[in-house]
Amino acid sequence: MRIVFIGTVHFSLRALERLFDIGADVVGVCTSVDTGENSDYADLGEISRVNQVPCLHVSNVNSAETLEWIRAKRPDVIFCLGWSRLLKRELLELAPMGVVGFHPALLPANRGRHPIIWALVLGLEETGSSFFFMNEGADSGPLISRRSVPIHYEDDAGSLYERITACALNQLDEFVPCLADPDFPLMSQDDALSNTWRKRGAADGRIDWRMPAEGIYNLIRGLTRPYVGAHFDIDGRQVKVWKSEVVRGMPKNIEPGKIVVNPAAPGVVVKCGVDAIRIIEMESGVGLAAGRYL
């Protein structure tokens, strides 16, 4: 089974490494230059060179030049893992078996953008790892392999990213050797059970101290590394917060956004709409004295 691999993030690198490790016949790799669009960008050029596989850096994976390069590799199947732009029909239909995609959610639920971030920000207790054959919809094609991944209260974007990745690599071990079997079982998705998460913007990462502390905690852990970080503004500066914890039992007569002194939780403690947040890690060089408002 001849494979052309497309990807451009850290997960892509890990998945490509696993394909090489299990002896998959990878005949070409498409990756991109770093445009700054992906905070977890990874260049697949070096791993391709080490494994003596041709690698093409592209800006438009749907271009005629890219399609011709892929077609010349005569792939049986294309793996597109970690590529946020939609593939056009010509590319989806180029390989006889189709294009394998990946979505870090329990499809058909939670299709769309930023699934790891949304799962944490919304306080979900479960997500998933789903491989599927891509079609012209968003994460809507027939499922190849799907696994549930629990979300723990102490998880953040980094730890959940790693656990989903570990699950996905095990799935590759299981299904790649069998995928070319014409009797390989696929599972259709029930669109009635689906929803689609929207794209997040910079405003979605701004901390609103009027929210309950639980919601702010979820926002901070959802946007922490490898992502862009939640933020608040002070003195004309945007300050990133990377780690926090909820402080409960705060007096109700303190306004949201006020920095308070709490002997039980030393450091910067900010009153929220309900309870408070202790900032454990944030950008340095910011003075936050008790009594100040954010």
DSSP state letters, 213-259 = HHHHHHHHHHH-TTS--EEEEETTEEEEEEEEEEE----TTS-TTBE
**Per-residue pLDDT band at 119 (split at 50, 70, 90):** very high
Residues in contact with 239: Cβ distance below 8 Å, sequence separation at least 6, in sequence order:
231, 232, 233, 282, 283, 286
203-282 fold: Methionyl-tRNA Fmet Formyltransferase; Chain A, domain 2 (3.10.25)
Q: What is the mean pLDDT of residues 275-281?
A: 96
Where along the chain do its domains lie? Answer: 2-197, 203-282
Q: Is the pLDDT of residue 266 over 90?
A: no
Distances (CA, A) of 131 to 15, 66, 140, 153: 12, 24, 11, 26
Q: What is the mean pLDDT of residues 198-208?
A: 96
Q: Which residue has the tokens 């702010």?
A: 216
**Per-residue pLDDT band at 261 (split at 50, 70, 90):** confident
CA dihedral over 11, 17, 18, 24, signed as positive or negative: positive
Q: Which residue has the tokens 């914890």?
A: 245
Q: Is the pLDDT of residue 265 over 80?
A: no
In this structure, what token pair is assigned to residue 49? 């060179």
Contact status, residue 133 vs residue 144, Cβ threshold 8 Å: yes
Query: What is the distance between the terminal CA atoms of the chain, rounded to a whole angstrom?
Result: 57
Q: Is the pLDDT of residue 128 over 90?
A: yes
Q: How far apart are CA 218 and CA 163, in angstroms?
A: 18
Q: What percent of the chain has pLDDT over 70?
A: 99
Q: Are strands 143-150 and 230-234 parallel, antiparallel or unpaired?
A: unpaired
Task: Please provide the CATH number assigned to the domain covering 2-197.
Answer: 3.40.50.170
Contact status, residue 213 vs residue 276, Cβ threshold 8 Å: yes
Q: Is the pLDDT of residue 13 over 80?
A: yes
For residue 288, the model assigns a pLDDT of 86
> Which H or E run includes 91?
helix 89-92
- Of 286 and 171, more confident: 171
Q: What is the mean pLDDT of residues 191-219?
A: 97
User: Which pTM value belongs to this model?
Assistant: 0.93
- Of 106 and 84, more confident: 106
Q: How many residues does the chain have?
A: 294
Q: Is the pLDDT of residue 194 over 90?
A: yes
SS3 category, 172: helix
Q: How far apart are CA 123 and CA 120, in angstroms?
A: 5
Q: How far apart are CA 254 and CA 143, in angstroms?
A: 51
Q: What percent of the chain has pLDDT over 90?
A: 87
